[in-house]
A and B are shown apart, each in its own frame.
Chain A
Amino acid sequence: DGGITQSPKYLFRKEGQNVTLSCEQNLNHDAMYWYRQDPGQGLRLIYYSQIVNDFQKGDIAEGYSVSREKKESFPLTVTSAQKNPTAFYLCASSFPGQSSYNEQFFGPGTRLTVL
Chain B
Amino acid sequence: KQEVTQIPAALSVPEGENLVLNCSFTDSAIYNLQWFRQDPGKGLTSLLLIQSSQREQTSGRLNASLDKSSGRSTLYIAASQPGDSATYLCAVRPSNTGKLIFGQGTTLQVKP
Residues of A within 8 A of B (CB): 4, 6, 31, 33, 35, 40-45, 48, 50, 58, 88, 90, 92, 94, 96-97, 100, 102-109, 111
Interface range, B side = 20 to 34
- The answer to whether B99 touches A33, judged by C-beta atoms less than 8 angstroms apart, is yes
A-B CB contact pairs (8 Å), 30 listed: A31-B98, A33-B99, A35-B102, A40-B104, A42-B4, A42-B91, A42-B102, A42-B103, A42-B104, A43-B102, A44-B102, A48-B98, A50-B98, A88-B41, A96-B98, A97-B31, A97-B97, A97-B98, A100-B51, A102-B32, A103-B34, A103-B46, A104-B46, A106-B36, A106-B43, A106-B45, A108-B42, A108-B43, A109-B41, A111-B41
- Tally inter-chain residue pairs, CB-CB below 8 A: 62
